[in-house]
Amino acid sequence: MRAGLARQALRRHRWSFLGPVATQCLAGVVLSMMFMTGASLDAATLDAAAERLVTATDIRSTTGAFAGIAVYLSILMVGVTMNAAIVRQRREIALLRAVGATPGQIRRSVAVQAAATAIPASALGALLGLAAGWAWLGALVAHGVLPDAVGFTPNLAMLPVVVGIVVATSVPGGLIAAIRPARVRPATALTEAAARPPAARVRTALGLLLVGVGVVLSVVLAAAFADQAADAGFFVILALCVGVGLLGPVVLRAAAWVIGPALQLAGGSGRLALDNVAVLSRALSGALIPLVLAVAFAGVKVAAHTTAAHVTGESDPAWSVWMDYSGTAIYAGFAAVAALNTLLTVTVGRHRDLAITQLAGATRQRLVGVVICEAVIVVVTALALAAFVAAVTLVPLLASELNTWLPYVPAPYLVAGLVGTAAVVAAGTVAPAAVLTRRPAIEAVEASA
């Protein structure tokens, strides 16, 4: 039964597994990079000066820390992304429970699904990690983190270890995601209204509370604990991101109202997109937390360095900045995967609605245009919220440490943030919509019936 359910789920709901696959592949890339860096360092012949540099930059401990980050983020994000995949299987799970399947059998089936996706995904990630490790090692040498004597020396024997670690972390993530679906009663699971969202007023009140807590915490830390404010900044960002995520439906509708006049220029596509965002605001708001977290966290890290250099005229050591940015990239990468998975789940879940709209006379180009307009609203909203979160986190700290209220961020970093956010949103909305609408509409409706 376990293998049959897993095989059926992987075949029927393959789109929903892109989130776990992307997470597992990213974990494989990071682990492979770190292991290859350690192998290259061990294989190098270093003189006394080179050893002092390696000790000063503490690169051995840093690579271990990055590998640890990849492991625990893999467990967390596989659980989050597998949860979205299981949602697509809730009816099948309910039917299996109705014919006698036990919660343990359901959980083990989900674990099999997680492991089945982890093997090819992590193998691909491990291979990509070779190229990424070569590039990253070159960057470490160029930025003075490692001495010139360290050349890229891959240890291919570590590739199976990478696959084993990712598989071992994916199974617990899948088991965590399966806890609630496996225990729910069949009759409840078969009822579409089984899980009702919390009241809008409660959600909004909690979101406002968390945003207020984040603002107060940022000011208090910067004023009273300036030496610890930078380390505690992540918790400020987290509180603000969760808060704006809870406020997401309200914020998205407000953003649609603000951007509405510009989208009206797109004609019927723009007007339909505004209506769709209003209806899908709660579902789309789930992507705002990871999107805002990734952009705001990266923005705070970049602005802290660039503003300090701009105000004081002195830059931090290149190796310190590079390592800080590398750690930020890992966090942002996993957050981007979570956002992509949420957007992808929402878009794929609309395939029947898209097909019915086509049957009503809409062309494929018109539907893709509508989704593009929706993506624009999400991108603008995410960037505006990320700028707010980053400013609230960073400005009090800059005022206390550098006596300035104005962060300085060079234009290339701003463009990178815009392009990265747009790429994630487009990959989760426009790309799947373009693929789904290629199928004959009548076939899509019949398949989803």
Same domain, yes or no: 231 and 349 = yes
| Enclosing domain of residue 84 | 1-196
Average pLDDT over residues 423-448: 79
Mean pLDDT (whole number) for 334-338? 87
Report d(CA 174, CA 2) in Å as an integer. Answer: 14
Total domains, the chain: 2
Q: Which domain-ending residue is among 149, 174, 196?
A: 196
pLDDT band at 20 (very low <50, low <70, confident <90, very high): confident
109-137 mean pLDDT: 90
Residue 418, pLDDT above cutoff 60: yes
* Comparison of pLDDT for 5 and 27, the residue scoring more: 27
Q: pLDDT at position 9, please?
A: 65
pLDDT at 313 over 80: yes
At 174-186, the pLDDT tens digits run 887 777 777 766 6
Q: In terms of domains, do 330 and 398 share one?
A: yes
Q: What is the mean pLDDT of residues 342-349?
A: 83
Q: How confident is the model at residue 231 (pLDDT cuts 50, 70, 90)?
A: low
Tell if the pTM clears 0.85, that is, is over it.
Answer: no
Segment 35-71, tens digit of pLDDT = 999 899 888 888 888 888 888 888 888 888 888 888 8
Higher pLDDT, 410 or 187: 410
**Which pLDDT band holds residue 34 (cuts at 50, 70, 90)?**
very high
> What's the whole-number mean pLDDT along residues 275-293?
83
Please tell me whether residues 185 and 206 are part of one structural domain: no
Q: What is the DSSP letter of 198?
A: P
Interatomic CA distance for residues 171 and 71, integer angstroms: 12
pLDDT at residue 222, as a whole number: 67
**275 and 179 inside one domain:** no
In percent, how much of the chain has pLDDT > 90?
Answer: 18
In this model, does residue 82 exceed pLDDT 50?
Answer: yes
Compute the average pLDDT of residues 264-278. 76
Contact (Cβ atoms closer than 8 angstroms) between residue 126 and residue 31: yes
**329 class by beta-carbon count within 10 Å (0-12 exposed, 13-18 middle, 19+ buried):** middle
pLDDT of residue 195: 46
In which region does residue 403 sit, left (phi positive, over 0), alpha (psi from -120 to 50) or beta (all else)?
left
**CA 196/CA 142 separation, integer angstroms:** 54
- Are residues 388 and 361 part of one domain? yes
Same domain, 250 and 191: no
Residue-level pLDDT at 366: 85
Cα(204)–Cα(385) distance, rounded to whole angstroms? 16
pLDDT over 50 (residue 196): no
The contacts of residue 18 (CB under 8 Å, 6+ apart) are 340, 341, 344
| Mean pLDDT to the nearest integer, 193-205 | 62
What average pLDDT does the segment 361-380 reach?
A: 87
What would the mean pLDDT of 148-173 be, rounded to a whole number? 90
In this structure, the answer to whether residues 212 and 169 fall within a common structural domain is no
Contacts of 433 (CB under 8 A, 6+ apart): 347, 350, 354, 367, 368, 371
- Provide long-range contacts, Cβ within 8 A and 24+ apart, for 410-413: 410/306, 413/302, 413/306
Residues 289 and 235 in one domain: yes
| Whether residue 271 is found in the same domain as residue 139 | no
Inter-residue contact 322 to 403 (CB < 8 Å): no
CA 125 to chain centre: 17
Q: Give pLDDT tens digits for 83-105.
A: 777 776 777 777 777 777 777 77
Length of the chain, please? Answer: 449
pLDDT band at 193 (very low <50, low <70, confident <90, very high): very low
Output DSSP code: residue 314. Answer: -
Same-domain check for residues 295 and 167: no
> How far apart are the C-alpha atoms of 447 and 439, rounded to whole Å?
11
* Claim to verify: residue 186 and residue 235 sit in the same structural domain: no
Q: Which residues contact 8 (CB under 8 A, 6 or more apart)?
A: 92
Name the more confident of 274 and 24. 24
| pLDDT at 229 (0 to 100) | 57
Comparing 446 with 284, which gets the higher pLDDT? 284
Residue after which a domain boundary falls, among 196, 214, 249: 196
Lowest mean pLDDT among 96-100, 139-143, 401-405: 96-100
pLDDT for res 256: 81
Q: Which of 177, 196, 215 is the last residue of a domain?
A: 196
- Locus of tokens 């990468």: 333
Q: Please tell me whether residues 347 and 262 are part of one structural domain.
A: yes
Confidence bin at 192 (pLDDT 50/70/90): very low
